[in-house]
Structure 1
Amino acid sequence: MFDREWIAARIPHAGSMCLLDRVLNWSQDTIHCRASSQSLADNPLRAGGRLGPANAIEYAAQAMAVHGALRAGADAAPRAGFLTSVREVEFHSDRLDLAAQLDIHAECLSGEGNHLMYAFRIESGGTLVSGRASVMLDADNKL
């Protein structure tokens, strides 16, 4: 079981900014994570007393980072990744914080060299947010 402590040790987000609770399932191409941080009053993404749907992109990005760590293997350091674009994002809800829990799904659609393309969806009894995201790996080595 890959819990919050395991996740926090492998992504660059610490404390309350580590949004995911656990990995439920994963393969070379997909990951399914669960989160309950959306309902916490101290969620660092909360603004105006609520958590808007655009914040689902951060949940998806963290799931993608965890997927990269899992694909790298337990003994390898995950490659640094940066979200470079999001496309075809659809919001099916006006807030995330009313859900008891979030299921975060990401699927790696393609990966060539340092560029990855993911499809993602955030669910809670139905799809709340979906879209695609591009990730660049090792971008810090190119600067």
Structure 2
Amino acid sequence: MLMSQSEIAARIPHQGSMCLLQEVRELDEQHIVCTTRTHLDAANPMRENGRMGAALGIEYAAQAMALHCALQQQQGERPRGGYLTSVRDVQLHAETLDASSEPLTVRAERIAASEQTAMYQFSLHAGESLLVQGRIAAMLDVAAPLQT
């Protein structure tokens, strides 16, 4: 494990039970691989009517992207906030994220980035099963640091 949930939460705006990622397993300048079991938690705030719909994988991917962007900043810089601007080519290969008791593996790979924007392709797996894949883009708030 390269990073724990508390270390992740220190670098992204998602706090408490909304910090969905629990571990960073792989990391380099182009990609990040995270794992989590939060999709199995009955108290997960994303759960609706007792289930975790597969489209919620987009939020897991967005958090992985936010973390990767934060980790690309200079050491000692405060993380910047941002907001999701587009979600494209999403393919849902399952109805729910919690149908399997396997941990989720969330992979996000940077396609393009500038000081103000980032675009990633992503995939979520439970074991060998592909659950969700697609692309996400975000606008980074270069004027204001993340409020902690």
Tell me how far apart the structure 1 counterparts of residues 19 and 99 of structure 2 sit (CA, whole Å). Answer: 19
TM-score by length of 2: 0.90
- DSSP 3-state at the match of 2:124: strand
Matched, 1:130 2:133: yes
Structure 1 residues 9, 42: closer, same or farther in 2, change over 3 A? same
For 1:137, give the aligned amino acid: L
Query: 1:80, 1:140 within 8 Å by CA — same for their partners in 2?
Result: no
Give the match for residue 79 of structure 2: 78
Structure number having the greater helix percentage: 1
Using the TM superposition, give the Cα deviation of residue 81 of structure 1 relative to its aligned residue in structure 2, in angstroms.
Answer: 1.7
Shift of 1:131: 0.2
Letter of the 1:106 counterpart: A
Q: CA 1:137–1:6 in structure 2 vs 1: closer, same or farther (change >3 Å)?
A: same
Report 1:65-104 matches (<5 A). 65-99=66-100, 100-104=102-106
Identity of aligned residues (%): 43
Tell me if structure 1 keeps the 8 A contact 2:26–2:32.
yes
- Residue 47 of structure 1 aligns to a residue in which SS? coil
Structure richer in strand, relative to its length: 2
**Matched residue count:** 141
1:98-125, CA deviations, whole angstroms, 9 ceiling, x for partnerless residues?
2321000001101134121110000112
1:110 aligns with 2:112: yes
- RMSD over aligned CA atoms reads 1.4
1:3-51 per-residue CA deviation (whole Å, 9 max, x = no partner) reads 0000111111111111001100111110000010000000000001100
Task: Spell out structure 1 runs of 4+ moving beyond 4 A.
Answer: none
Unaligned runs of 5+ in 1: none
SS of equivalent to 1:7: helix
- SS of 2:72's equivalent in the other structure is helix
Task: State the TM-score, normalized to the length of structure 1.
Answer: 0.93
- Is the Cα–Cα contact under 8 Å of residues 121 and 128 in structure 1 kept in the other structure? yes
